Amino acid sequence: MADNILEMRGITKEFPGVKALDDVNFAVERGSIHALVGENGAGKSTLMNVLSGLYPYGSYSGDIVYEGEVCKFSKIKDSEEKGIVIIHQELALVPYMSIGENMFLGNERGSRFAIDWDRTHAEATKYLKIVGLSDSSKTLIKDIGVGKQQLVEIAKALAKNARLLILDEPTSSLNEADSQALLDLLLEFKKQGMTSIIISHKINEVSYVADDITIIRDGHTIETLHKGVDDFSEDRIIRGMVGRELSDRFPKRVNPKIGDVALEVEDWNVYHPLYPDKKVIDNVSFKIRRGEVVGFSGLMGAGRTELAMSIFGRSYGTNITGTVKIHGREVKLHSPRQAIDAGLAYVTEDRKGSGLILSNPIYINTTLANLKGVTRRGVINPDKELAVAEEYRKKLNTKTPSVQQNVGNLSGGNQQKVLLAKWMYADPDILILDEPTRGIDVGAKYEIYCIINDLVAEGKSVLMISSELPEVLGMCDRIYVLNEGRIVGEFAQKDASQEKIMARILSTDLSKKEQKQ
């Protein structure tokens, strides 16, 4: 009989108009890594928020049995005192506080009247060493990368004496090397007796790290797969998630019609906004044709987002030089408004922070980039705004009870559809899509890919930035490889492979090292 550290029995949770969880059952064996997978909106995060006390006892029905005891958590502090610690997808760190201060925020070391800073930093250093982070505990959070911030969150959890660690999409913002390091850290914790629950859309990572996989679909428990007993293949897991076979991850484009050059960038140089001597984009030139999907691949920090934002009305960088031509005509784009008016759109990688207003409803977000389309004499027509939002809801198959629903209440995949709708309504000729499928499930990804194919079939041009090489290879007609702010390679789709792209990146890294020596 399994030694379960946790059992969640018959959990049902409702929100206005939506039953997010319906009689969900979930059990986790002590000392294991248990993955929780499902499409966006399946109920994974909701279930973990019930467990952590974010949704307090009384707001749901069912039982939480932890260490053999029925628990009735009324707040997160209650679950943390039992050793259950959750790390959310959006990291809860204060940028202008130090690593040590963040680690013990709300869990301070000292007396009722004063914080013992020596003890704080000494303990912080101890836990940082456990997670493999060598930075000083006095370093400000803003001065370390996202990968290191994720490790700080894990160290913070260890400082709370975590026995059950819950990680919600822990690798969604990490590059491959940092993702692998984090997964290996979880495996090391497992050897030491730690139990972990991981929510992830990256099926290859789930297969690598998990002992058991529970699949949730539409608020119901579908099944639990066990390593060494059940089929752990990606196709098998995806079939459980979406309820059908997904024979091809990338929809085929029928007779692509690639036309004249739509966007041409020549000799583009960009310097860092805070460090004016640091060159971020170095003499980059590229072009995109009508009806073409062009991919930009590269490691995190290669400069892909900085390049895209600097082109989009100089919304990033200083001392920008170079030429931008749209349909053969040179344009001066000194603001996002000018870029939009010239037929350019930028779909940000940060949909929650920069792309959408989460506290506002879908219909307001949908028309943000083209308010003139729903105004008359400077006054917004609310009926037309609702009609536009409803049209795009149907067109993109956005799952929501109503376009009057706040965007913050939608799943990640449906938020991404609203973000796309916002820019599609602006009717641009050229769309820059920065990580368009980050943090969304395979089913929603396929729908986004279909939308991209529909856009280029209409004669629009797409520049697609993605950290997932299979996505770049599966969707793009041509691929540029960016490394340290320079284009170091260009491939037609038929000539490209993961090995060739990585080899081009590594060869330029090696040549730079040799030059320094």
3-state secondary structure (DSSP) of residue 138: coil
One domain for residues 170 and 100: no
| pTM strictly above 0.95 | no
Read off the pLDDT of each residue in 174-182 and give the average, rounded to a whole number.
78
Structural domain containing residue 137: 92-161
CATH number of the domain that residue 20 is part of: 3.40.50.300
Residue 249 lies in a domain: no
Residue 250 lies in a domain: no
Q: How far apart are alpha carbons 351 and 358 in whole angstroms?
A: 9
As a whole number of angstroms, the longest Cα–Cα distance in the chain is 72
One domain for residues 315 and 441: yes
The tokens of 38 are what? Answer: 């499902």
One domain for residues 4 and 68: yes
* Residues across the chain: 517
Residues 31-56: tens digit of each pLDDT: 999 999 987 778 888 999 999 999 99
Among 427, 452, 472, the domain-final residue is 427
Residues 268-296: tens digit of each pLDDT: 999 998 888 889 999 999 999 999 999 99
- pLDDT of 1 strictly over 80: no
Give kind and range of the element (H or E) at residue 180: helix 176-191
Instruction: Answer for the pair 43, 32: CB distance below 8 angstroms, yes or no.
Output: no
One domain for residues 194 and 304: no
Among 211, 244, 277, the domain-final residue is 244
- pLDDT of 147 strictly over 80: no
**Sequence-ordered list of residues with C-beta below 8 angstroms from that of 46, at least 6 positions apart, any chain:** 13, 20, 21, 55
Total domains present in the chain: 4
Looking at residue 144, its pLDDT comes to 82
- pLDDT of 461 strictly over 80: yes
Residue 52 lies in a domain: yes
One domain for residues 227 and 168: yes
Residues 207-241: tens digit of each pLDDT: 999 999 999 988 899 999 999 999 888 888 888 88
One domain for residues 297 and 411: no
Residue 185 lies in a domain: yes
One domain for residues 357 and 412: yes
One domain for residues 338 and 433: yes
200 φ/ψ angles, rounded to the nearest 5 degrees: -155, 145
Instruction: Answer for the pair 130, 158: CB distance below 8 angstroms, yes or no.
Output: yes
One domain for residues 515 and 446: yes
Dihedral (CA of 224, 173, 406, 414) sign:
negative
**Sequence-ordered list of residues with C-beta below 8 angstroms from that of 260, at least 6 positions apart, any chain:** 289, 290, 327, 328
One domain for residues 434 and 337: yes
- pLDDT of 200 strictly over 70: yes
**Residue with the larger pLDDT of the pair 516 and 361:** 361
Give first-to-last CA distance, the chain, whole Å: 61
Residue 438 lies in a domain: yes
Residues 353-380: tens digit of each pLDDT: 889 999 999 999 999 999 999 998 889 9
Share the mean pLDDT of the chain. Answer: 89
Instruction: Answer for the pair 23, 35: CB distance below 8 angstroms, yes or no.
Output: no
Looking at residue 244, its pLDDT comes to 63
Q: How far apart are alpha carbons 325 and 336 in whole angstroms?
A: 16
Per-residue burial over 201-229, b = 16 or more CB atoms within 10 Å of its CB, e = otherwise: bbbebbbebbbbbbbbbebbbbebbeeee
Among 372, 404, 427, the domain-final residue is 427
One domain for residues 129 and 17: no
pLDDT band (50, 70, 90) for residue 246:
low
Residue 138 lies in a domain: yes
One domain for residues 39 and 52: yes
Residue 111 lies in a domain: yes
Residue 357 lies in a domain: yes
